[in-house]
Amino acid sequence: MLLGVDVGGTFTDAVLAFDGRIVTAKAPSTPQDQSEGVMNAVAAVLQRAGQGTEQVEAFAHGMTVATNALLEGRAARTALVATEGFTDVIALARQNRAHLYRLCAARPAPLVPDELRFGARERMTPEGPLTPLRSEDAHSLAREVAQAEPEAVAVVLLHSYRHPEHELAAADALEQAIPGVHVSLSHQVVGTFREFERAATTEVDAAISPLLGRYLRRLVDSARDGHLPEPAIMQSNGGLIEAAAAASHASWTVLSGPAGGAAGAAFVARAADAPNALCLDMGGTSCDVCVVDEGAVQEQSAGEIADRPLALPMLAVHTVGAGGGSIGWRDPGGALRVGPQSAGADPGPACYRRGGSEPTVTDANLLLGYLSVDSPLAGGVELDVSAAKDAIGGLARELGLELGDCAEGIVRVANAEMLRALRVVTVQRGIDPRGYALLAFGGAGPLHAAAIAEELGIERIVCPRASGVLAALGLVVSPRRRDVQRSVLWSGESLTAEAVAAEVKELSDRAREALDEPDAELTAVYELRYRGQAFELAIAAEVAPELDELRQKFEAEHEDRYGYRDSEQQLELVTIRVSATVPGAEVELGDAAGEKPETTSREATLGGAQLELTVFPGAPSPGTAIAGPAVVELAESTLLVPSEWSGEVDATGTIHIRRGRQR
């Protein structure tokens, strides 16, 4: 049996795969200690499957501990050790502005304050040491840092990506002076050039690793007490890693939660014959979107979380604060806004009857008739329409709107936020969304999918039977993976096939050793640019490529991206990244044959008009035809099928609908 558990802002999802079956369950998230919600979800899915813990062979986990710590500004007391004269690099940052016309918009303050930044008497150049770090200086510095009593230390010395000797010496001295302190070394965390990005990433890694470490120790202890295997942790790159390694490098897991959903979406896209898909994962707190091309999620070599750069490979997932629990409000100009504030899991939307009083997207969907008061949500949450009316009624009075108009407005504004996110990952990157299917999942995604698809001109929607817990399913099927990268900055005579092969060999050995799999599959990415350019393009190629092949692939990508190529220009290889992977479990979506419950009907408001919806209670069996207007009440989510949309259910229970009624 294979177990996957994903923590969301409102619910914690669990999937158990065994004997060709997939069993799912949800439990309310427990923000004060996510491990409690994890174990509750595990108990729920095992009970539903009628199984015990003894047969569970693998346990994969995706969580939001690191993400929430960054978003909320929580961090361990962290010191920074940098080359003397460069301790303020994390404060100086880049001299560009995130918002061109918002002159007062400030970047987030460094996680390490001025008084906890220490300069090391050393200087490394790309060719080697200019000022060696003497042993007595390293130990004197370590004693000075120890007096500040930090929980963690980030060590970021110049050019350590090429020559890590000084960072290693500093780490040894720190560990002797402050036993048990967490130390993050930039050449191990990042391994690439660009001082600010490397420093900022290492600072994040050091500041949140103690927090994540405490959480993971609690989870590992709970799993051991429950006779479960030690959990593997989802990384931002879409691969699993051991819990101990994740605790040591929390920055690798900042996108752990969204990465599980993206992995599950790619798995379903391949199985549903929709290899090119736009993925819409709308949960209780946020909405994550990404692009799946040829069955694989797009990746990027760096990203930004909570306005802090992370120079690490990660899935290209974009997040906005639009979820089922997002709160509707009136801004100072009198306009209706939705999110990013969320009712979360506690107290949750007003209709959950747990003390919430703010109007949310879920309350609006209930008032409009898309959700049923007679069908509890996953996790046994019963809905109270009168509480939803009270919450939305207060906002409607503020805005001078009728109750129904306010509810529709909340849904439309939330849709607009998600549309903006999808345009970021498609139109703004030169991708035409009309050539893709929309794969909607998460507890609330299928409710909003059709309206969003119509705005983007998308003709096909794919909704998996397990759409409400797809992130947990993604954890079950994800590979184990370790990435190792290094900036080399080779061009001209230094860029040779022999040099590339030697570097790839060293990185490959390190990746396989870190994964403890000598036969792990290897893939390589080469970041290249024309000499003189400021930024590079990531090119996937063979582990031992010919230089001519690299140039051809780079120039084809450069022409596709920028509209030209220059075959006379000298090429520069900036960074090499090698990934070692062990494939995930082979899981079938399974036979979805089952009961065919009788359809019912109820009134709903669609586009301002009152309509009679056909209601499919439970997951429809394969071959079932679905014609809008209708709702399909799946186990953990609800699919809304407007008029002019119709389709059917395939052999695995996945629902495919298209625009335009079928004859």
| Length, in residues, of the chain | 663
User: Which SS3 state, helix, strand or coil, does residue 318 take?
Assistant: strand
Q: Where are the domains of the chain?
A: 73-209, 480-582
What's the Cα-to-Cα distance from 414 to each of 340, 379, 391, 554, rounded to whole Å? Answer: 10, 24, 17, 39
Instruction: Give me 21's structure tokens.
Output: 């079956």
Question: Is the pLDDT at 450 greater than 50, yes or no?
Answer: yes
CA pair distance 578, 330, nearest whole angstrom: 49
Closest CA to 258 of 441, 427, 98, 111: 441
Q: What angle do CA 311, 312, 314 make, to 5 degrees?
A: 130
> What pLDDT, on a 0 to 100 scale, did the predictor assign at position 596?
64
CA pair distance 502, 524, nearest whole angstrom: 13
Sign of CA dihedral 56, 592, 61, 42: negative
Q: What angle do CA 643, 648, 650 make, to 5 degrees?
A: 155
E strand or H helix that includes residue 490? strand 480-491
Residue appearing with tokens 């949750």:
348
CA pair distance 368, 359, nearest whole angstrom: 13
Question: Is the pLDDT at 663 greater than 50, yes or no?
Answer: no
User: Is it true that the peptide bond before 340 is cis, omega within 30 degrees of 0?
Assistant: yes
Question: Is the pLDDT at 587 greater than 90, yes or no?
Answer: no
Q: Is 142 within 8 Å of 174 (Cβ atoms)? A: yes
E strand or H helix that includes residue 199? helix 195-225
End-to-end C-alpha distance for the chain, whole angstroms: 43
Instruction: Give me 295's structure tokens.
Output: 């069955």
User: Which SS3 state, helix, strand or coil, does residue 645 take?
Assistant: strand
Neighbouring residues of 134: CB distance < 8 A, sequence distance ≥ 6:
121
Neighbouring residues of 6: CB distance < 8 A, sequence distance ≥ 6:
12, 13, 14, 61, 62, 63, 257, 260, 261, 469, 471, 472, 474, 475
**How many C-beta atoms surround the C-beta of residue 612 within 10 A?**
12
Tens of pLDDT, residue by residue over 149-175, are 999 999 999 999 999 999 999 999 999
CATH no., domain 480-582: 3.30.1490
For 143, list phi and psi in degrees, rounded to 5. Answer: -65, -35
- Angle between helix 195-225 and helix 65-72 axes, rounded to 10 deg: 130
Summarize the confidence of residues 128-152 as an average pLDDT.
96
Closest CA to 472 of 118, 138, 103, 13: 13
CA pair distance 652, 592, nearest whole angstrom: 5
> What pLDDT, on a 0 to 100 scale, did the predictor assign at position 527?
96
Answer with the residue of higher pLDDT: 119 or 544: 119
Tens of pLDDT, residue by residue over 615-662, are 998 888 888 999 979 999 988 889 999 999 999 998 888 999 998 754
CA atoms within 13 A on the CB side of 4: 31
CA atoms within 13 A on the CB side of 163: 16
Beta bridge partners of 655: 463, 649
For 556, list phi and psi in degrees, rounded to 5. Answer: -65, -45
Beta bridge partners of 293: 296
> What pLDDT, on a 0 to 100 scale, did the predictor assign at position 544?
83
Residue appearing with tokens 């009198």:
334
Q: Is 485 within 8 Å of 201 (Cβ atoms)? A: no
Residue appearing with tokens 């335009």:
660
Tens of pLDDT, residue by residue over 208-240, are 999 999 999 999 999 999 999 999 999 999 999
> What pLDDT, on a 0 to 100 scale, did the predictor assign at position 662?
46
Neighbouring residues of 281: CB distance < 8 A, sequence distance ≥ 6:
258, 261, 262, 265, 287, 288, 289, 441, 442, 445, 470, 471
Q: Give Cα 485 distance to the centre of its chain.
A: 21
Q: Is 612 within 8 Å of 601 (Cβ atoms)? A: yes
Q: Give the pLDDT band (50/70/90) at residue 379.
A: low
Beta strand segments in 607-660, E:
609-617, 625-627, 630-633, 638-641, 645-649, 655-659
Q: Give the pLDDT band (50/70/90) at residue 378.
A: low
Summarize the confidence of residues 539-551 as an average pLDDT.
90
E strand or H helix that includes residue 304? strand 303-305
Q: Is 247 within 8 Å of 182 (Cβ atoms)? A: no
CA pair distance 4, 631, nearest whole angstrom: 28
pTM (two decimals): 0.88
Average per-residue pLDDT for the chain: 90
